[in-house]
Structure 1
Amino acid sequence: MSRLAFTFACLLLAGVCTPALAEVFTYVDADGNRVYTDQPKPGNAKRVEMAPLNKMPAVKRLSPPRPPAKAPVEPPYQVLRILFPAPDSVVEDAAGNLMVTINSEPALLPGHSYRLLFDGTQVGQPGRSAVFPLENLERGTHQLAVEIIDSQGLVVERTPSQPVHVRRVSLDSKRRAQPCKLPDYGVRPECALKDRPEPDNDIPFIPFI
């Protein structure tokens, strides 16, 4: 690169880096060399027309929009409970039978079913009926819980386990506690018709005087 071209390139770079009002002049010195300068000497110096500087507007950086806050999802059921038997209640039945009754608010949604758990094990098949009959339960304390499941078998809602105490009182014990009378036979379970005593049809003999 010639000295003249190098000098001109430096002045152009200086023009880019200097404010827009800076000017560049050129002239030929006594040795016949062309000189570029921003401080011209009186004489044959001429102003060099510079191309306008490219100006880019500052880009304002915008923060990314915040995702909208998600509304809390309310559970589909406000109430799910076992109406009968009450928690920690005692159920007396000679055969060990028990009728479990369930309540939910709102009522079961389409595709949902009740499932009864007895001591942690499913009893029968899930269904939409709110009544589950249990038969021949063993004496002692047991745990009851109810679930609402969807069509895929996933649990939607569940009650806490609650204890129930089953007491199987024998019929003989009931008869001893409350003896059977004639109107009780065929009415009270412990007073079977077959055990009803035969009526006394003998007519007492009344001697004539």
Structure 2
Amino acid sequence: MRLILTALLLAAALPASAQIYKYTDADGKTVFTNQPPTDVDAKPVELPPTNTVGPQAPVVAPSESDTGSQASNTYAILALSNLPDDEALRQNNGTFTVNVVVQPALSPAHQLQLVLDGQPYGAPTSSTSIGLDNLDRGDHTLAVQVLQGSRVIQASAPVSFTLQRISTHSPQRPKVQPRMGG
């Protein structure tokens, strides 16, 4: 019984290592096959070796006992998104949300702190979606810091943006006339 099973497994493995041949048929089409016809000049096809990928080493998050120089390079990517690049941000109430891109994921021992115009804004959070409320119109800079306790271990590059808000005294604001009921 084992001999039959071994022979069947060996027979099943043979087609996987079969030679492939290439020839041109009577209509001028290229044909690939593992059994070339006898009346045609079929040439063997040399296949490149298959690609293989070895096991990947796991990424180890730094522990809290890491030194300051190691901790400063904790995140490969730390950046703000959801801000316009070349145009003004139009939010009439000055309220909007920014996203923080952090890779690898934020460690449970770390928090994010927004820095608006060089000053910390709001409370530190572990959320990567952070809201800003009632911001004044004009030019601003925004950055994000990674905190471990009260210590800054990494900071993003500052992003400059302009916030536009329509003033209630703006001449462009349409005048609304009350309707007279009748």
TM-score (norm 1): 0.46
Aligned partner of 2:165 among 161, 164, 168: 168
In the other structure, the counterpart of 1:157 is: 154
Give the number of the structure whose alpha-carbon radius of gyration is greater. Answer: 1
Name the aligned partner's letter for residue 122 of structure 2: G
Q: Contact 1:80–1:158 at 8 Å: present in 2 too? A: yes
The aligned amino acid for 1:157 is Q
Matches of 2:117 and 2:93 in 1, distance apart? Answer: 19
Cα deviation, residue 107, structure 1? 1.0
Structure in which a larger fraction of residues adopt strand: 2
Using a 3 Å threshold, how does the CA distance of structure 1 residues 158 and 174 change in structure 2: closer, same or farther? same
User: Could you tell me which residue of structure 2 aligns to residue 68 of structure 1?
Assistant: none
In structure 2, the partner of 1:128 is 126
Instruction: Give the whole-Å Cα distance in 1 for the aligned partners of 2:126 and 2:86.
Output: 26
3-state secondary structure, aligned to 2:162: strand
Q: Which amino acid aligns with 2:75?
A: Y
Q: SS at 1:95's partner residue?
A: coil
Q: CA separation in 2, counterparts of 1:91 and 1:161?
A: 16
| Aligned position for 2:145 | 147
- Counterpart CA distance in 2 for 1:136 and 1:73 is 38
Give the gaps of 5 or more residues in structure 2. Answer: 1-68
User: Does the CA contact (< 8 Å) of 1:88 and 1:165 recur in 2?
Assistant: no
* CA distance in 2: counterparts of 1:91 and 1:133, whole angstroms: 14
In the TM superposition, what whole-angstrom CA distance separates every residue of 1:146-197 from its partner, at most 9, and x where no partner exists?
001112x222211111111011024777764xx9xxxxxxxxxxx9xxx896
Residue number in structure 1 paired with 2:111: 113
Let me know the Cα RMSD of the aligned residues.
Answer: 3.0
- C-alpha separation between the residues in 2 aligned to 1:88 and 1:125? 29
* Pairwise CA distance, 1:115: 0.4
- Aligned partner of 2:22 in structure 1 is none
Q: Which has the higher relative contact order, 1 or 2, with Cα contacts under 8 A spaced 6 or more apart?
A: 2
* TM-score normalized by the length of structure 2: 0.52
89 and 156 in structure 1: CA distance in 2 versus 1, 3 angstrom threshold: farther
Could you tell me the percent identity over the aligned residues? 26
Measure the CA separation in 1 of the matches of 2:179 and 2:101.
46
The equivalent of 1:104 in structure 2 is 102
- Any unmatched runs of 5+ in structure 1? 1-71, 180-190, 201-209
Q: By how many angstroms is 1:86 displaced?
A: 3.6
Q: CA deviation at 1:73?
A: 5.1
1:88–1:162: 8 Å Cα contact kept in structure 2?
A: no
Query: Which residue of structure 2 lines up, in the alignment, with residue 30 of structure 1?
Result: none
Structure 1 letter corresponding to 2:78: L
1:48-59 matched pairs, under 5 angstroms: none
SS in 1 for 2:141: strand
Q: Is the 8 A contact 1:88 1:163 kept in 2?
A: no
